Chain A
């Protein structure tokens, strides 16, 4: 029974690497987050945003604007339930569903920088 519970818990865990680069300033910011190191409420919120974005689903991105001057570039890698996916997006291609997740990660990266 204990082993089954642990397996379920492990399946709930996720690991995120996020980097935002480019922009007018050219100053990049990044953060690495592991659900085991987050407060329970924080982990739940982040998981909700990942599910909302449809990160692991087949999404097509509009990459016509890949060289749009001064836009931000986003590199997001998420490992969850044995799956790993990396997406490279930019302001011209970010679907609206991704915005809440990206905003959350940007705020977390800023707060993390402040702590260090």
Chain B
């Protein structure tokens, strides 16, 4: 106790000091910082200081990125190789994961005033070099995970490059986290395809913002650069022209529809979540191009507000159309240019906002069949 410089410092419990750091006045914050520093010295708990400092930074809206290396194993998160503020490592996958998660954080923070994935300053955790020959990237509910493609195959037979190579994939995976904390769309059938589509939309916006592209300058490709030159592919998906991203003897043909008439009723891939996402993807593209300018400014804002405030876990395409139309009216006025663009964007893919027709007769039949045999609402 002899090290105690102020009687109050000695009796403040850590959680209270933390609270003062987050919410207190500048003078109170300074005193709380002093307490934590001294308490840390006394108890030898440097980690406590670091953790509390991190929480304060998160509350104040600062990025905190951590990139781990799985060293081709499957244990997560792996070994920490780059933290916030560290210099580039020279490992392309590590540095791409770091930069890409930063660009995604910036889009959400600077454009949509969102404080990280959970809107509470969550750390951005990425693991690269996951397993061997792992041609995939995914969000596991807590972090992003990236494989190196099919690097275990002879070079002339490789199809995929590392999955951090496309910045929109990083934005896509982080957006799964945002969706989890907002609408929490069920990862199956139409809600699942919407979940995928929101990830493609904001992943593409991350890329467009980094490249400073307007809607008409953007390529609207998802996963550009992921495929090697051994296959005939521009990317994994095209938001501009679903179904045209690849056509190759090894890969087959891009199966994405761009209209409800071509909706794919399938049970595989959780009810075609990566296939039917082409329909809402195309709707967003239509809206963004009709409005012109930077897609994140108006179309992105409408979609973001819809994801956060209007949709729930069971929302389907019709609900997304209705909600984006409503939000466009709320933000820009009824019958505004923006609301008309949203209406036209969905109509072009076969969904009329406000009509509640769920994609016409085919949609109605599909819903009845699903409710009979699948137990879902989509």
Rounded to whole Å, the gap between the CB of A104 and the closest CB of chain B is: 10
Q: Separation in Å of the B93 CB from the closest CB of chain A?
A: 15
Q: Mask for A14-57, Cβ within 8 A of B = 1, else 0? A: 00000001111111100000000000000000000000000000
Among B131, B159, B163, B270, the residue within 8 A (CB) of A99 is: B131
Residue of A nearest to B222 (CB): A24
In-complex Cβ contact of B187 among A24, A69, A103 (8 A): A69
Q: Once the chains bind, are A70 and B137 in contact (CB under 8 Å)?
A: yes
Determine which of A24, A28, A106 lies in contact with B169 in the assembled complex, contact meaning CB atoms within 8 Å. Answer: A24
B199 contact from A69, A91, A110, Cβ within 8 A: A69
Q: Decide if A83 is an interface residue (CB 8 Å cutoff).
A: no
> Chain B residues near A107 (CB, 8 Å)?
133, 152-153
Distance in Å from the Cβ of B150 to the closest Cβ of chain A? 7
Instruction: Indicate whether B172 reaches chain A with its CB closer than 8 angstroms.
Output: yes
Chain B at the A interface: SS class: loop
Q: Mark B234-260, 1 if CB is under 8 A from A, else 0.
A: 001000000000000011100100000
Kindly report which residue of chain B lies nearest to residue A113, judged by CB atoms: B250
* Contact-residue bracket for chain A: 20 to 34
Which residues of B in the span 123-179 have a Cβ within 8 Å of any Cβ on A? 131-133, 135-141, 150, 152-153, 157, 159, 163, 169, 172-173, 176
Query: Which residues of chain A are within 8 angstroms of B153 by Cβ–Cβ distance?
Result: 107, 110
The answer on a CB contact under 8 Å between A24 and B172 is yes
Identify which of B131, B132, B139, B268 contacts A21 (C-beta below 8 A). Answer: B268
Could you tell me the distance in whole angstroms from the C-beta of A109 to the nearest C-beta in chain B?
11
Residue from the list B141, B157, B159, B163 in contact with A24, Cβ < 8 A? B163
Which residues on the A side are within 8 Å of B137 (C-beta)? 24, 70
CB distance from B63 to the nearest CB of A (A): 22
Residues of A within 8 A of B159 (CB): 110
Size of interface on B: residues with Cβ below 8 Å to A: 41
Give the chain B neighbours of A77 by CB distance below 8 A. Answer: none
- Note all chain A residues with C-beta closer than 8 A to B157: 110-111, 114
A106 to B135, CA, bound (A): 10
Taking CB atoms, residues of chain A closer than 8 Å to B173 are 69-70
CB neighbours (8 Å) of B133 from chain A are: 103, 106-107
Q: Mark A61-100, 1 if CB is under 8 A from B, else 0.
A: 0000101111111000000000000000001100010010
Q: Does B336 contact A (CB under 8 A)?
A: no
Query: What is the CA–CA distance of A113 and B199 in the complex, to the nearest angstrom?
Result: 30
A22 touches B250 (CB 8 A): no
Contact B269 A68 (CB under 8 A): no
Taken residue by residue from 264 to 275, chain B's Cβ proximity to chain A (1 for < 8 Å, 0 otherwise) reads as: 000011100111
Contact assessment for A70 and B139 in the assembled complex, using a CB-CB cutoff below 8 Å: yes
B345 sits at the interface (CB 8 A): no
Distance, CA A70 to CA B222, complexed state (A): 14
B223-A67 in contact (CB<8A): no
Q: Knowing A28-B269, A69-B199, A110-B157 touch, does A23 contact B135 (C-beta < 8 A)?
A: yes
Cβ-neighbour of B268 out of A28, A96, A99 (below 8 A) = A28
Residues of chain B within 8 A (CB-CB) of A99 are: 74, 131
CA distance A107 to B159 in the complex (A): 12
Query: Which B residues touch A91, using CB under 8 A?
Result: 136, 138
A-B contact pairs, 26 of them (CB 8 A): A23-B135, A23-B138, A23-B274, A24-B137, A24-B169, A25-B135, A25-B223, A25-B236, A26-B236, A26-B274, A28-B268, A67-B188, A68-B141, A69-B176, A69-B199, A70-B136, A70-B139, A71-B136, A73-B269, A91-B136, A99-B74, A107-B152, A110-B150, A110-B153, A110-B157, A114-B250
Extra inter-chain contacts (5) besides given A23-B138, A65-B141, A73-B269, CB under 8 Å: A67-B186, A69-B196, A91-B136, A107-B152, A110-B157
